[in-house]
């Protein structure tokens, strides 16, 4: 009997706490979720690099850096130091801010932002590395 009564009171307190906390959060509160990929094998690295190259061919990229923006109030920048680096920033939506800095040789990275109001500052250092980040905001 003690366990059942304690469980009921705990559930009641939890429900009350949630009820009190819920009105303090605006209904239109935004958020984001992100996924970063860093290949662990040479085969995975080649696959990611090939995917980034296909993307750049599809978008008629010239050179080793590509910024593609669809939407409003987006900000993007790419800085590269070294040889043979490839970087891209793709933004679809509104209010994104994204930068990519590459230091070293033969690096490849893609930053993809979708939705609204995502923020990312990626720094890639070393030689022959690759990676990608995908951010989704609401």
- Would you list the domain boundaries of the chain? 33-137
Categorize the per-residue pLDDT at 77 as very low, low, confident or very high, splitting at 50, 70 and 90: very high
**Pseudo-torsion of CA 55, 59, 62, 68, nearest 10°?**
-90
In b/e form, how buried is each residue of 22-33, taking b as 16+ CB within 10 angstroms? eeeeeeeeeebe
Calculate mean pLDDT across residues 89-104.
97
67 pLDDT exceeds 60? Answer: yes
Compute the distance between CA of residue 98 and CA of residue 110 in angstroms, rounded to an integer: 11
The mean predicted confidence, pLDDT, of the chain is 84
pLDDT at 46: 94
Please tell me which residue, 75 or 61, carries the higher pLDDT value.
75
Give the residue among 27, 58, 115 at the shortest CA–CA distance from 50: 58
31 pLDDT exceeds 60? Answer: yes
Q: Is the dihedral of CA 54, 39, 100, 33 positive or negative?
A: positive
């Amino acid at each position: 009997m003690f366990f059942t009564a304690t469980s009921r009171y705990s559930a009641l307190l939890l429900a009350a706490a949630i009820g009190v906390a819920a009105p303090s959060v605006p209904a239109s509160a935004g958020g984001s979720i992100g996924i970063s990929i860093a290949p662990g094998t040479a085969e995975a690295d080649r696959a990611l690099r090939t995917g980034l190259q296909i993307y750049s061919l599809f978008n008629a990229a010239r050179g080793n850096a590509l910024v593609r923006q669809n939407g409003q109030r987006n900000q993007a920048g790419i800085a590269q130091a070294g040889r043979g680096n490839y970087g891209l920033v793709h933004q679809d939506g509104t209010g994104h801010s994204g930068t990519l800095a590459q230091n070293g040789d033969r690096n490849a990275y893609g930053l993809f932002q979708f939705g609204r109001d995502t923020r990312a500052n990626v720094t890639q250092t070393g030689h022959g590395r690759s990676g990608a980040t995908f951010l989704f905001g609401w």
